[in-house]
């Protein structure tokens, strides 16, 4: 069986190709600029093709947020495994770097518009990310949750303040070094 | 000199009346629902009257954010003075409560759209809030700033996660008690 250059996408691959293209469009143009028609054009398929995988724009955004949480969790788990001495500091830095590298995806993952309680798949993906942090924090069932929420708040706040341009970086200051210092101080 | 019920506003008072009405409209309808005409109607003045105090909608939003920072800083300073034993915990709780009580004002104060570097008055008001925190944190010039940024990130993250509905409050859980526990753990 030969694969021709213009062979139609296999269904499984088309979904993946659509998601990858959508992640690129999301960062390039922002969430507002991301529609199923733009996506079809970017991937080179018919305007109707994306609808075979995503019922609506909302379904596409949900799938992107789920993908974001899956990649984020995988990265967090890798960092946790590779920094056994101080996993929380390494994970904190990874959290902020992920946000700065994928600002629009990060905003989408934590968007109040994409209500997680009405989307079981998204809820599960977000819970898996929290569970990774919960595991790194340790502690008892009771205080572990509180400590994980506190650790999450710290790095989420730093990420949001940096993304929103609220922390005044001084002239000549290295913003990455500043992040490391703040994380170290958290 | 008598004050008649329908006497026109004194200029100084009109600005204040416009700001108070705008703060109410901001929380009731969100930033998108806040225009200078709606404001004139709410205060009972002519549509042109607000323009004597605010050149544009953007100028009104900036004035609201400045007012927000001034009230926020005053509240922080009062809390700091009244809790000398653990000012940071008391200020942290006040930060989150302020955000939950005034969600739209809080979002406006930290909106990336309202760039502080182009607005000296807003920059100054925001810096005064940070300086209060900086004072509470203590430390040297060098590490004090980093520690203040870290403390800010913690409570800002908690406020944003709660406002955006990202922290799953369990059935029967008291959200205020949860905030106090997380702040205590920070």
pLDDT of res. B9: 57
Residues of B with CB below 8 A from A153's CB? Answer: 154-155, 157-158, 161, 182, 186
Whether residues B154 and A152 touch (CB distance < 8 A) is answered with no
Shortest Cα–Cα distance, A63 to chain B (Å): 18
Tokens representing residue B125 in the block: 């008001």
SS3 B88: helix
Q: Are A122 and A65 in contact (CB under 8 A)?
A: yes
pLDDT of res. B141: 82
Pick left, alpha or beta for residue B42 (phi over 0 → left; psi -120 to 50 → alpha; otherwise beta).
Answer: alpha
**ipTM value greater than 0.85:** yes
CB of A113 less than 8 A from some CB of B: no
Q: Are A68 and A105 in contact (CB under 8 A)?
A: yes
Domains of chain B: 1-54 (1.10.10.60), 55-185 (1.10.357.10)
For B82-110, the pLDDT digits (tens) are: 988 889 999 999 999 999 999 999 999 99
A25-34 mean pLDDT = 92
A148 → chain B, closest CA residue = B182
Query: How many other C-beta atoms are found inside a 10 Å radius of the C-beta of residue A91?
Result: 22
> Of A153, A165, A166, which has the smallest distance from its Cβ to B154's Cβ?
A153
The listed range with the strongest mean pLDDT (A8-12, A124-128, B31-35) is: A124-128
CB of B59 less than 8 A from some CB of A: no
pLDDT of res. B60: 96
pLDDT of res. A1: 45
Tokens representing residue A84 in the block: 């056994």
Q: How far is CA A5 from the centre of its chain?
A: 32
């Amino acid at each position: 069986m030969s694969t021709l250059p213009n062979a139609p996408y296999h269904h499984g691959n088309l979904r993946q190709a659509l998601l990858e293209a959508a992640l690129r469009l999301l960062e390039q143009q922002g969430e507002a600029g991301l529609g199923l028609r733009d996506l079809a054009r970017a991937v080179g398929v018919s305007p109707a093709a994306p609808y075979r995988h995503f019922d609506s724009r909302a379904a596409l955004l949900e799938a992107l947020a789920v993908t974001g949480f899956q990649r984020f969790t995988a990265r967090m788990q890798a960092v946790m495994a590779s920094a056994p001495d101080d996993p929380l500091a390494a994970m904190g830095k990874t959290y902020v770097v992920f946000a700065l590298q994928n600002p629009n995806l990060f905003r989408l993952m934590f968007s109040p518009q994409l209500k997680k309680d009405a989307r079981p798949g998204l809820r599960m993906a977000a819970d898996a990310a929290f569970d990774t942090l919960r595991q790194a924090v340790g502690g008892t069932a009771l205080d572990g949750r509180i400590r994980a929420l506190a650790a999450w708040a710290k790095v989420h706040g730093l990420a949001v303040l940096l993304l929103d341009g609220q922390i005044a970086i001084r002239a000549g200051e290295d913003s990455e070094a500043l992040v490391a210092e703040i994380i170290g101080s958290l």
